[in-house]
Amino acid sequence: MFKNYLKIAWKILLRHKLFTFISLFGISFTLLILIVITSFIDHTVGRQAPENRQNRILTATYFRLTTESGGNTVGPVVSYYFLDRYVRSLKTPEAVTISSFHKNVITYKDKKKFNFALKYTDGEFWNIYDFKFLEGKGFSSADVEQATPVAVITADVRKKYFENQSAVGEYIQLGENSYRVIGVVDNVSLLRILPYSDVWVPITLSKANLMEPKIVTNEFPGYFAAVLARSRSDIPAIKAEFRKHLSQVEFTDGHFNAIWGGVERYSETISRVFMGSMKEPNLPGLMLVLFLLMLLFMILPTINLVNINISRIMERSSEIGVRKAFGASSKTLVGQFIVENIIITLLGGIIAVFLALIILSIINNSGIIPHLHLVMNWRVFYKSMLIAVFFGFLSGVYPAYKMSRLHPAEVLRGGE
């Protein structure tokens, strides 16, 4: 029976080429957009190098400070002094690192101009983030304390600046400063904004007065802290300990009087930004909004498919009437129609996979975002396909029910 359904459905799809094209376009385009968007999301906040331990990493990046007059400062604005005093002093975590956000530095070699991203950080940075070292190693806490002029670079910098030759032991000139290369790591995507850079050097080589007792930094582009929990079960305790520290902040600037923020997962920080919730991250709210948007995005083509299916049933009314006159049951016709819809959905999914692989490859090779490497998120694709099959089934139920109500005698006479 099911084999006959498939044969009939396939012949009908080939016969109604316009309907098949419109349906496949709507389904494949919808799934394609979902796959590309989820690939970006997964690449930004998912667990992958150098953030393989992201389920244990918390960050302190986004804060809001207010003044007595009602003014406020929001964003990654806190100073190195603040992070060193109130985050590095946490006892519960396994490790704490404080780094600057990257800044661009222009340098020249052999009349060639290079624009590299430079990040100042400490020795714990290499213990928290899982970089793949192609050569050498990261600098140590002793190197940071002694302000040793050393650097870790990416494979891309090695390729451009050292013409893909071994770089360890060589020197790289950045602005007025020269650094001895002690390590080469795999490239990091710009979307991994916290660990991202082209060159990393000890934070004590920064010209900034790091320990100036102030809450808000005047330095650009500012600082952040990353905290590694010993286990996921320690995360609530780390958050509670930091809240206690935050309640004891001394506003040495003489300007601000209150501060909100936290050490939290990067996804929670994103929820603060997009949901406008400073006191507590609203990750469930953000996930609900994303789910509803995804649902709406899939419902719209489903409604369109329902309308197309109803029109198609009216066009096939004579065929339905003849089959019912020769003894075909309503159950058989309904089953066939739903199978047709599911086949179209599965074909649309297969087309979406091939299109997504092409689009992702084009985006990766475009160079729009440095070191971007989007991959197919098969887990999301499988779930999207299940949802699509469900909507394919749903979009066929009502038209199929309407079809089953057609009376063969009226149809063959040309009635409604």
pLDDT at residue 414 tops 70: no
Say if residue 394's pLDDT is above 60. yes
- pTM of the predicted model as reported, rounded to 2 decimal places: 0.81
With helix as H, strand as E and coil as C, how does the chain read? CHHHHHHHHHHHHHHCHHHHHHHHHHHHHHHHHHHHHHHHHHHHHCCCCCCCCHHHEEEECCEEEEECCCCEEEECCECHHHHHHHCCCCCCCCEEEEEECCEEEEEEECCEEEEEEEEEECCCHHHHCCCCEEEECCCCHHHHHCCCCEEEEEHHHHHHHCCCCCCCCCEEEECCEEEEEEEEECCCCCCCCCCCCCEEEEHHHCCCCCCCCCCECCCCCCEEEEEECCCHHHHHHHHHHHHHHHCCCCCCCCCEEEEECCCECHHHHHHHHHHCCCCCCCHHHHHHHHHHHHHHHHHHHHHHHHHHHHHHHHHCHHHHHHHHHCCCCHHHHHHHHHHHHHHHHHHHHHHHHHHHHHHHHHHHHHCCCCCCCCCCCHHHHHHHHHHHHHHHHHHHHHHHHHHHCCCHHHHHCCCC
Mean pLDDT of 398-414: 62
pLDDT, position 313:
67
Residue 61 has pLDDT above 80, yes or no: yes
pLDDT at 354 over 80: yes
| pLDDT per residue as tens digits for the range 150-175 | 999 999 999 999 999 999 999 999 98
401 or 268, which is more confident? 268
Q: Which of 110-124, 201-215, 274-288, 361-375 is predicted least confidently?
A: 274-288
The residue with greater pLDDT, 7 or 105, is 105
The per-residue pLDDT for 24 is 81
Q: How confident is the model at residue 393 (pLDDT cuts 50, 70, 90)?
A: confident
pLDDT higher at 413 or 297: 297
- Quick check: 263 pLDDT over 70? yes
**Looking at residues 305-324, what average pLDDT do you find?**
68
What pLDDT is attached to residue 416?
47
List pLDDT tens digits, range 174-198: 988 999 999 999 999 999 999 999 9
pLDDT tens digits along 223-234:
999 999 999 999
pLDDT grade, residue 42 (50/70/90)? confident
Mean model confidence pLDDT for the chain? 84
5-19 residue pLDDT tens:
566 666 766 776 777
